[in-house]
Structure 1
């Protein structure tokens, strides 16, 4: 049973924790807004580039040309980029992503497909321990200096590996933001590029003048698309990280408030019991004196 002093210490400790969680919530909101702005800046360029590549792929297919960056290969070797968070306190974000990836990797092993992992972030130790022999790149400080150029260093290596047939497919697994609250772990194919669309392309509505051959142009555009897609996916994962941390810290702050209220009630009850006991002792003592 706690005494009043112990309860006061607990209230003080939880109050300090509440201040920290509230501060972390506000910091995460600011960071989330910054990442959201970056995503919006990239979005239109990313979609325009996607449309251009789609049309050029359509043109090359109509000429019965096969480009290694758009034509599927027989899959024997896969590079698998996995984007974890760099910090904790973001709910089950990393755990849910691991649950999505592990069955997929086990299925690849059953089909005798060789895969190499490129791990970005560090907050999923169990996953790292389980697949440590399959890791090609592990950058646990990736998010320290995150920008497009930093991201391009990894994408440049992987694009070159794919070009020279070291890999037949490149995938990326990350948490995709659906709105400010919800997210879902996804696995998407980066290479070969497949831009499926139910809408028919009207070739008469567009045309291009090429300064080089179509294969070289398509390679350069695919390289650019590949770089941006990786950076865009990383930013989306970062957005879900901050969003999840905002929710986690908000819940922690609310729970601290509720706990402080409960402790105040217990403290007041103990205080009242002590006052009642003291009054009882005084009345008993006074009665004994009067009887004498």
Structure 2
């Protein structure tokens, strides 16, 4: 009967685990919808800023913002890595960190110095363990991205780019495709692409394609003050901030989707394990009862 008791205890344990994973699945599903709404709500803002800035830069080609200057000789780069603060979300963090480590290895082979910024506890922990030059970090981001906290973390990288200490800044995040699919992406944040093509949607577009998009979609009638240079400076700053905010929002939506799928898989696996254990329990119990009956019948026959 000791075997039966152990199996019963194990069944109870797996049932309790399934209750937890089922609850986490439901919580993730609720948070996922809100995260997706925030992610989609941020896209029109970045799109409109990009349109206006691209129009003004075409209207005033004599002024080139520092964010748009291409560096021919790349000696140092900055990498901003967006991850989650918590685990239990499948391979989401593993995939993005595998991509980042691969790119860091490529930079190292080319003799390019790398300085990193971590947005999320998982990225901060991994970058610290590998000995990366971590110049800034922001952890415990919560369920809703806070732009002020994000700006504080990335300002170090942006200032170094403007001062010429780094020649490019890259952004690594999980791009939300749908509930079942999240793509790890490694995009260039600065210098901004020609024509201000959306890096999240047009990673494969050429500069000519981006320029055609600008010419075909952007209008030309704007009244602004005080002057074009000031407006362009402010717009591009807001645009870069919007890109980082969008990257964190995409990663948060990906996190909740991946966690919901992972917890559903865990709940389904727990249900299967419970079924297998109950089958073993019933067989063991039946064997024990049969053995007892055999002993009783044998004893009666002996008498």
Q: When the two structures are superposed, what TM-score results if normalisation uses the length of structure 2?
A: 0.87
**Shift of the alpha carbon at 1:205?**
4.6
Q: Could you report, residue by residue, the CA deviation over 1:199-250 in whole angstroms, capped at 9, with x for unpaired residues?
A: 3615995222231332221111010011111011011111111111111111
Q: Could you report, residue by residue, the CA deviation over 1:110-135 in whole angstroms, capped at 9, with x for unpaired residues?
A: 22222210012222544431133x11
Alignment of 1:78-227 (within 5 A): 78-123=77-122, 125-132=125-132, 134-143=133-142, 146-194=145-193, 195-196=196-197, 197=210, 198-199=212-213, 201=215, 205-227=219-241
Aligned mates of 1:45, 1:127 — CA distance in 2: 32
Greater mean alpha carbon deviation, residues 3-12 or residues 39-48: 39-48
Aligned mates of 1:73, 1:160 — CA distance in 2: 16
Corresponding position: 1:17 with 2:17: yes
Corresponding position: 1:57 with 2:57: yes
Residue 43 (structure 1) aligns with? 43
Whether contact under 8 Å (1:155, 1:226) holds in the other structure is no
Aligned mates of 2:243, 2:219 — CA distance in 1: 27
**Shift of the alpha carbon at 1:3?**
0.6
Aligned mates of 2:119, 2:273 — CA distance in 1: 37
**Shift of the alpha carbon at 1:7?**
0.5
Structure 2's unaligned 5+ residue stretches are 198-209
Give the match's secondary structure for 1:69: helix
Whether contact under 8 Å (1:57, 1:70) holds in the other structure is no
Give the match's secondary structure for 1:171: strand
Question: CA RMSD of the aligned region, Å?
Answer: 2.2
Give the match's secondary structure for 2:111: coil
Of the two, which has the highest radius of gyration?
Answer: 1
Greater mean alpha carbon deviation, residues 279-288 or residues 223-232: 279-288
Corresponding position: 1:255 with 2:255: no
Cα 1:203/1:44, change in 2 over 3 Å: closer
Whether contact under 8 Å (2:138, 2:153) holds in the other structure is no
Whether contact under 8 Å (2:145, 2:245) holds in the other structure is no
| Deviation beyond 6 Å, 4+ runs, structure 1 | none
Structure 1's unaligned 5+ residue stretches are none
Cα 1:87/1:131, change in 2 over 3 Å: same
Whether contact under 8 Å (1:159, 1:223) holds in the other structure is no
Aligned mates of 1:259, 1:94 — CA distance in 2: 27
Aligned mates of 1:21, 1:2 — CA distance in 2: 29
Aligned mates of 1:151, 1:89 — CA distance in 2: 24
Cα 1:32/1:2, change in 2 over 3 Å: farther
Cα 1:9/1:117, change in 2 over 3 Å: same
Greater mean alpha carbon deviation, residues 247-256 or residues 97-106: 97-106
Residue 293 (structure 2) aligns with? 279
Aligned mates of 2:106, 2:154 — CA distance in 1: 25
**Shift of the alpha carbon at 1:287?**
1.8
Q: Could you report, residue by residue, the CA deviation over 1:57-115 in whole angstroms, capped at 9, with x for unpaired residues?
A: 32333xx4322112312333222100121011111111111221122122222222222
**Shift of the alpha carbon at 1:145?**
7.5
Aligned mates of 1:203, 1:90 — CA distance in 2: 39
Aligned mates of 1:240, 1:145 — CA distance in 2: 13
Give the match's secondary structure for 2:47: helix
Whether contact under 8 Å (1:84, 1:123) holds in the other structure is yes
